[in-house]
Amino acid sequence: SFVLKRPTMLKFLLLCALVAANRAALPLEEEEDVLVLKKTNFEEALEAHPNILVEFYAPWCGHCKALAPEYAKAAGMLKADGSDIRLAKVDATEETELAQEFGVRGYPTIKFFKGGDKSSPKEYTAGRQADDIVNWLKKRTGPAAPTLKDVAQAESLIADNEVAVIGFFKDVESEGAKAYIKAAEAVDDVPFGITSDDAIFSKFEVTKDAVVLFKKFDEGRNVYDGEITKEDLLHYIKANQLPLVIEFTEQTAPKIFGGDIKSHILLFVPKASKDFQEKLDQFKKAATGFKGKILFIFIDSDVDDNQRILEFFGLKKEECPALRLITLEDEMTKYKPETPEITAENVVAFCTAFTEGKLKPHLMSQDLPEGWDKNPVKVLVGKNFEEIVFDPKKNVFVEFYAPWCGHCKQLAPIWDQLGEKYKDSPDVVVAKMDSTANEIEAVKVHSFPTLKFFPASEERKIIDYSGERTLEGFTKFLESGGKEGGAPVGDDEDDEVDVSIITVASLDSIDKVSAEMYETNVMVVGVDAGFQNHLQAQDICNHALGPLSWVC
Catalytic residues: 61, 64, 405, 408
Per-residue b or e along 42-52, where b marks 16 or more CB atoms closer than 10 Å to that residue's CB: beebbeebebb
Cβ of 304: how many Cβ atoms within 10 Å? 8
> Are 332 and 545 a contacting pair, CB within 8 Å?
no
Q: For the chain, what is the total number of helices (H) and then of strands (E)?
A: 17, 26
First to last CA, the chain: 72
CA angle 446-447-449, nearest 5°?
Answer: 135
Instruction: Compute the half-sphere exposure of residue 324: CA atoms within 13 Å on the CB side of its CA.
Output: 25
Contacts of 416 by beta carbon, 8 Å cutoff, 6+ apart: 376, 377
The string of DSSP letters for 310-324 reads HHHTT--GGG-SEEE
Secondary structure letter of residue 440 according to DSSP:
B
The string of DSSP letters for 155-188 reads HHHHHT-SEEEEEE-SSTTSHHHHHHHHHHHH-S
AA identity, residue 121: P
**Beta bridge pairs of residue 429:** 396
Integer Cα distance of 223 and 457 in angstroms: 61
- Distance from the Cα of residue 395 to its chain's centroid: 39
Q: Is residue 100 exposed (0-12), middle (13-18) or buried (19+ Cβ within 10 Å)?
A: exposed
| Residue 544 DSSP SS3 | strand
Strands 245-247 and 295-300: parallel
Integer Cα distance of 322 and 270 in angstroms: 10
Q: Describe the strand order of the beta sheet including 192-195 as a list of residue ranges.
A: 192-195, 163-168, 210-215, 221-224
Sign of the alpha-carbon torsion through 156, 173, 188, 207: negative
Of 127, 107, 122, 118, the closest CA to residue 517 belongs to: 107
Integer Cα distance of 513 and 523 in angstroms: 13
Cβ of 475: how many Cβ atoms within 10 Å? 15
Cβ of 237: how many Cβ atoms within 10 Å? 23
Strands 51-57 and 85-91: parallel
Distances in Å between the alpha carbon of 226 and those of 58, 208, 212, 230, 281? 48, 11, 11, 12, 31
